[in-house]
Each structure stands twice: as structure tokens, then as C-alpha cells.
Amino acid sequence: MSVSLDTNASHRIESANYVTNVMPVPHPDRVLPVHDFLYILDGDWEIYEDDIPYQMEKDDLLILSAGHHHYGRKNSSPGNRHMYIHLYPENGASAPDVPLLSGGSSPLFHCASVPRIRQYFKEVIATYWSDTPLREEKLSLLFGLLLCEIKSLNSARQKEIRHPEVVEAIVELLQTNSSHMYSCGEMASRFFICSRTLSDLFRQAFGVSFYQYQMNMKLEMVRQYLSDHPDEILANVARNYGFYDEFHLGKTFKKKYGYSPKRKA
């Protein structure tokens, strides 16, 4: 998915501000008619767009598109501080069908190496709350500069060396070592990459996290195995496919397929 952000358009800001979550809270469960640019200043926060989770940390920017379901399942860290800008869809559309992001690129940006993104974000907020002459024009120009920095960061990200062979090697390892349940950190260390890079690679390749890909693969292996071996003891199946025990397998299996695996005494 490539990011398409028109830096030449007239940008209309609906609202912009700072927020501090003194007490930990999940992200609001909502569908907004505006695009939501969210920048973490301190702490961390897990935010879902539709069914895809994004784990945000300090100096991360997440672009949540209008018309999509956004929510959280976990609380933010205590004292989480973040900035947000709510942007009307282009051409003044009130309907949520004007895409801000298209293609397959992640809407999560790691911005620590580009401090201008944080600075322009702050300038947009300051201008939004000011009564300066030509306020709307300044807001549009400042937001355009912010988008330029985001686009530059995205271009650099797209030019980074991709390692599909790494993903292929990891998938092969998962398939041939089905009795082990790998953590993201364990697998990243094995292939000499960081956990975040591993997670990003799997999202780009399959649209899900490394953990979810591994779990989906194992559950499908279990489903096929039980189909071929209906008399197998479930505790043995759990051991063979890296689950803690038969109860862990049964619960996870039922959550995915809607029914429990067949149990035999």
C-alpha cells in the first residue's frame, strides 16, 4: 500500500491539540468522518484500525483514515502524552470514502530520525489555537510542510532494502519446526534483525503480525491433522504444535474456527 498525500491541496484542519492520559485508557472506540494524525510524545499505545493493531511508542506517528473503525483493546501507558490533528478529507468531502492512504504501506511512521515532523506538528497546533491573520492559509501551508516530511520519510522507507528471502526463511522454519512456538524477539535474534523490523516485514507480506501469522499457520496445521487423525489425543496434538496444553489449544482453536477440536479420552 503506497501512501498518497497531496502536498499541493488546500488542507482544512477540523481540530488539533495535545492530550495527556494521566490514567491509562484504551483508544476511543469510534469511526470519525475526518483523518486522524496521532503523534506519541511520551509512553506507548496500541491502536487498532479495523482489525489491524499498531503498537505506538515515543516519536511514532499513526495516520488513521476517515471512515474506518478505530479502537483499543489495551490501556495506554500511564502519563501517555500525544498530539493529534484531525483533517477533513480532500475536496471538502464529508463522506468517509475519500482515501488518504491507498495501496499497502503501513500508516505507522517511526519519526525519531526526522524531528521536523514533530516540530511542524507543534506549529500546526499552535497556529490552530491562535488568532493570527491569515490563520487558515498558514494552517494549510504548515500542514503541507508536515506532509512533505512524512512523504520524504515514506520514500526513504520504500527505498530500504527489503528482505523477502528473510520472510521466506522464517516461514520455512515455522513450517518445519511446528512443535515450537517462537516469540517475535526470539525469531528476530535468530535472523539478526530487530523485532520491529520483523513485525513490519510480516505485515507488509501478509497483512498480519508475526505472532498472528504463526498462530494461524499452527491452527490450520492442527485442523488438518485432526481431520486426518480423528482419534489422536488432544494433549499430544498440543505438544506437537507448540501450545501450552490442550486447554490453550482448545480455546484458541475455537476462537478461530467457531467450534472446539474433537477430544478423545
Q: What is the mean pLDDT of the chain?
A: 86
104-47-187 Cα angle (round to 5): 70
Extract the C-alpha cell encoding 199. Answer: 513485525
Tell me, which fold does domain 13-159 have in CATH? Jelly Rolls (2.60.120)
Q: What is the structure's pLDDT at 125?
A: 97
pLDDT tens column, 41-53? 999 999 999 988 9
Q: What is the structure's pLDDT at 207?
A: 83
Residue 229: pLDDT band (50, 70, 90) is confident
Q: What is the structure's pLDDT at 160?
A: 55
Domain regions of the chain by residue span: 13-159, 164-257
**Amino acid (1-letter code) at residue 40:** I
Task: Average the pLDDT over 61-73 and give the result.
Answer: 94
Listed in order, strand segments (DSSP E) in 106-219 are 108-110
Extract the C-alpha cell encoding 217. Answer: 499457520
Q: What is the structure's pLDDT at 139?
A: 95
| pTM attached to this predicted model | 0.59
The class level of CATH for 164-257 reads mainly alpha
Report the 3 state secondary structure along 187-241: HHHHCCCCHHHHHHHHHHHHCCCHHHHHHHHHHHHHHHHHHHCCCCCHHHHHHHC
Task: Average the pLDDT over 5-14 and give the result.
Answer: 77
Residue 99: pLDDT band (50, 70, 90) is very low
Percent of the chain at pLDDT > 90 equals 60
